[in-house]
Amino acid sequence: MIIESAFYKLPDYFLTKETPELDYESQLVTYFVLSIFLELQNRGINTPYLNIQLEKKYPKKNYRADIFVKIPWLKYKESLRKKIIAAGYYQIFEKNWIEVKFFGAKERTKSSSQKTMNVWTILNDLLRLKSYIASNEGKYLLIGFNRSPKEYLAFQTKKKKERKYLSQLFQAGEKKIKIDVSQEGKTLGSFEELTRHPSFTLNILTLTIEPKGAYCLPDRPCFWLYLIKILPNLKS
């Protein structure tokens, strides 16, 4: 599980940064690419960079995924049986698409409307992965925060109704979640995917890295990381 293993390397990069605050999403992309590179290299791949691509265009759509990764030992014809077993039993795929989001400017996320917009950004990425990528390919959303997610995301609507799906999204483990924003359509704005699919269901696996009892200081690294993997639809 290259992608999942790379995820757990991320704290090492955060903790070695002289300035704890991570200001740009591109920095998180860089960290994750380096982690994936090392995972491939540790498995004996001589040229890991040939299996990692940035800003790869989605099939048949004019959007680009932040990171695209190929698992080399699953791409050959003679590996067909291995590929079937890996995908069917362990949800490991040859082709993997990764979107990345980072939230690190609390001073610009004070209003409830901005926090709601951040939620739509996350859901929009999940919908792109769900809609545009084949079911036999890996779909991941990596999300990072330099404070608690509650500082950046609206876990309640303006009417104080809880967005249960949002809490579920960030809970560790495998689950099936129902997302319905059809009653909030006026706030969807330019989020094309959400406008077209305001109600949808996801089977996901969430991995989490969270500080325990932490509070942020200028000299103290502080980060929350989540890797959300969209799983194929399972028979109920």
Q: Evaluate whether residue 159 is within a structural domain.
A: no
Whether the pLDDT of residue 147 is over 90: the answer is: no
Please count the structural domains in the chain: 1
Contact of 10 with 225, CB cutoff 8 Å: yes
Whether the pLDDT of residue 107 is over 70: the answer is: no
Q: Evaluate whether residue 161 is within a structural domain.
A: no
**Is the pTM higher than 0.85?**
yes
Longest dimension (CA), the chain: 57
* Percent above pLDDT 90 for the chain: 51
pLDDT band at 236 (very low <50, low <70, confident <90, very high): very low
| Residue-number span of the structural domain to which 25 is assigned | 2-110+119-153+170-176+203-231
Whether the pLDDT of residue 214 is over 70: the answer is: no
What was the pLDDT predicted at 235? 47
Q: Evaluate whether residue 192 is within a structural domain.
A: no
**What DSSP string runs through the chain?**
-HHHHHHTTHHHHHHH-SS-----HHHHHHHHHHHHHHHHHHTT-S-GGGGEEEEEEPTTSS-EEEEEEE-GGGSSGGGHHHHHHHHHHH---SEEEEEEEEE--GGG--SHHHHHHHHHHHHHHHHHHHHHS-TTSEEEEEEEESS-GGGTS-SB-TT--B-HHHHHHTSSEEEEEEEE-GGGGGG-TT-HHHHH-SEEEEEEEEEEE--SS---BTTB---EEEEEEEEPP---
Q: Evaluate whether residue 198 is within a structural domain.
A: no
What was the pLDDT predicted at 14? 84
Mean per-residue pLDDT, 98-109: 82
Whether the pLDDT of residue 88 is over 90: the answer is: no
Tell me the average pLDDT of the chain: 86
Q: Evaluate whether residue 137 is within a structural domain.
A: yes
Q: What is the pLDDT of residues 4-61, one digit of tens each?
A: 999 999 998 888 866 655 557 888 999 999 999 999 999 888 899 999 999 999 987 8
What was the pLDDT predicted at 90? 81
Q: What is the pLDDT of residues 149-195, one digit of tens each?
A: 999 999 988 788 899 999 999 999 999 999 998 877 566 767 878 88
